[in-house]
């Protein structure tokens, strides 16, 4: 399954397998002035898109009130053709994923239309693997925030230790696979970090890792 995630998260979620079924809604465009004010902050832009979509979808269907969904974008519908839930999906369709409520919604922005709605069944083995790397920060606190905010969305491994702590200047979230853009943005916003495309000097990618969080 390949999805592009937006929320603080546009991406391909490389590992959330969902079994689902039935219909969803729309996305509004930002006022020019709003766009100008938020585009300087990628995390804020991502959250703004999530908020806009949720606002529109909530006018069509009742949404869970106690959680903020993960937002993803279908990038290649052909890679999802074997999954019944995505049978009617088109490239560009948005997916709202409510992990705590175990609910997913596909919605087509251009038509302001619900495409499918249904329960989520997640195999933990398919979740993106996130490694926490200790670079001298509050590893326990950051780990807890991620676990609380993204249950059933990612699998957090035991913390590793940075090889070159001096090269890490702040909390940094890295998308190792290049397929979790929306998700890494959401994680960064939740823990007060930034998204980077490059590893700190002297660092290497931990084995079997999709996302790395350096905690400074």
Question: Would the pTM of this model clear 0.75, i.e. be above it?
Answer: no
Higher pLDDT pick, 54 / 70 = 54
pLDDT at 145 over 70: yes
Close Cβ partners of 141 (under 8 Å, ≥ 6 residues apart) = none
Continuous segment of H or E residues that includes residue 18: none
Nearest to 22 by CA among 110, 122, 104: 104
How many Cβ atoms are within 10 Å of 174's Cβ, its own excluded? 23
Nearest to 205 by CA among 143, 131, 147: 131
pLDDT band at 41 (very low <50, low <70, confident <90, very high): low
Residue 53: half-sphere exposure toward Cβ, Cα within 13 Å: 30
pLDDT at 1 over 70: no
Q: Where along the chain do the CATH 3.30.70.2390 domains lie?
A: 125-215
The model's pLDDT over 59-78, given as tens digits with 9 standing for 90+, comes to 999 999 888 888 888 888 88
pLDDT band at 120 (very low <50, low <70, confident <90, very high): confident
Q: Which of 21-35, 105-119, 148-162, 201-215 has the lowest mean pLDDT?
A: 21-35
Looking at residue 215, its pLDDT comes to 96
Looking at residue 38, its pLDDT comes to 40
The model's pLDDT over 149-169, given as tens digits with 9 standing for 90+, comes to 887 778 888 788 999 999 999
Looking at residue 213, its pLDDT comes to 96
For domain 125-215, give its CATH number from 3.40.50.300, 2.30.30.230, 3.30.70.2390, 3.40.710.10. 3.30.70.2390
pLDDT at 174 over 70: yes
Q: Judging by DSSP bridges, how do beta strands 155-161 and 129-134 pair with one another?
A: parallel
pLDDT at 19 over 50: no
DSSP letter, residue 69: P
Burial class of residue 32 (count of CB atoms within 10 Å of its CB; 0-12, 13-18, 19+): exposed
């Amino acid at each position: 399954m390949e999805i592009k995630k937006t929320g603080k998260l546009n991406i391909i979620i490389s590992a959330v397998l969902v079994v689902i079924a039935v219909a969803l809604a729309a996305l509004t465009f930002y006022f020019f002035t709003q766009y100008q004010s938020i585009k300087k902050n990628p995390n804020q832009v991502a959250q703004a898109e999530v908020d806009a979509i949720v606002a529109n979808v909530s006018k069509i269907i009742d949404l869970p009130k106690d959680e903020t969904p993960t937002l993803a974008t279908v990038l290649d519908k052909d890679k999802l053709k074997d999954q019944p839930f995505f049978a009617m999906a088109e490239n560009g369709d948005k997916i709202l994923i409510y992990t705590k409520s175990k609910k997913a919604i596909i919605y087509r922005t251009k038509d302001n239309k619900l495409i499918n709605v249904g329960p989520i069944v997640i195999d933990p083995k398919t979740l993106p693997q996130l490694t926490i790397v200790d670079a001298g920060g509050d590893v326990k606190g950051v780990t807890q925030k991620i676990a609380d905010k993204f249950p059933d969305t990612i699998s957090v491994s035991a913390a590793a230790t940075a090889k070159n702590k001096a090269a890490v200047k702040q909390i940094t979230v890295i998308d190792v696979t290049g397929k979790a853009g929306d998700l890494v943005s959401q994680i960064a916003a939740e823990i007060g970090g930034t998204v980077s495309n490059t590893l700190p000097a002297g660092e290497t990618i931990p084995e079997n890792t999709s996302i790395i969080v350096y905690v400074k």
